[in-house]
Structure 1
Amino acid sequence: MNVITAAMELVDTTAGVPYPAADPFGEAVVGFDHDESEEQDWQERALCAQTDPEAFFPEKGGSTREAKRICSGCEVRAECLEYALSHDERFGIWGGLSERERRRLRRAVG
């Protein structure tokens, strides 16, 4: 099993051997099964990337209506929601859901 330590080292806990989590230039993290190019692909196609990002991160008590309207027509809504759930995004509208709605979804599924 691999874990990232507070010192940003990727450690194989079965062998106890640390590996750098990233090279000195901040390039790809070693040892992850995560395909970064796929992530960038859906993010580039997202409608929110073409609009004002402030709509997706409203002030507390602010309206989420405009962001949710944009999300409703977005072709990568499912990928966005999956990303938010897997990365425990705490703020903003992701995949058409607010943090409160994502919490409810996690409880209902889990």
Structure 2
Amino acid sequence: MLYLVEEQEDDGLLGWQERALCAQTDPEAFFPEKGGSTREAKKVCLSCDVRSECLEYALMHDERFGIWGGLSERERRKLKKRAV
């Protein structure tokens, strides 16, 4: 049964990751050192078709590092605070 759930997640819930532009670029740009620039990663996110799915995933899974859906960790925290 667990196998079926994982398979559904890969094809459905997480299938957006295969279409993400970040999967085709340098992953280090999306996880800059503290104080490093996020400009290049955010530029990629702007033209990504799955940006909203990516951001939703990051918010639902409390991703604390990296650029997800075009937002930094700090920006996601602010967004979550406003939603509460």
TM-score using structure 1 length = 0.69
Cα root mean square deviation, aligned: 1.6
The structure with more radius of gyration: 1
**Distance in 2 between residues matched to 1:87 and 1:28, nearest whole Å:** 21
Q: Secondary structure at the match of 2:76?
A: helix
Which ranges in structure 1 are unaligned for 5 or more consecutive residues?
1-21
In structure 2, which of residues 6, 28, 35 is the aligned counterpart of residue 54 of structure 1?
28
Is 1:66 aligned to 2:35, yes or no? no
Q: Which has the higher helix share?
A: 2
Q: Which has the higher strand share?
A: 1
| Aligned equivalent of 2:52 | 78
Alignment size in residue pairs: 81
Q: Which runs of 4+ in 1 moved over 3 A?
A: 27-30
Identity %: 72
**Distance in 1 between residues matched to 2:74 and 2:52, nearest whole Å:** 17
**Distance in 2 between residues matched to 1:73 and 1:90, nearest whole Å:** 23
TM-score using structure 2 length = 0.89
Structure 1 residues 53, 28: CA separation in 2 closer, same or farther (over 3 Å shift)?
A: farther
Of structures 1 and 2, the one with the larger relative CO (CA 8 A, separation 6+) is 2
Which ranges in structure 2 are unaligned for 5 or more consecutive residues?
none
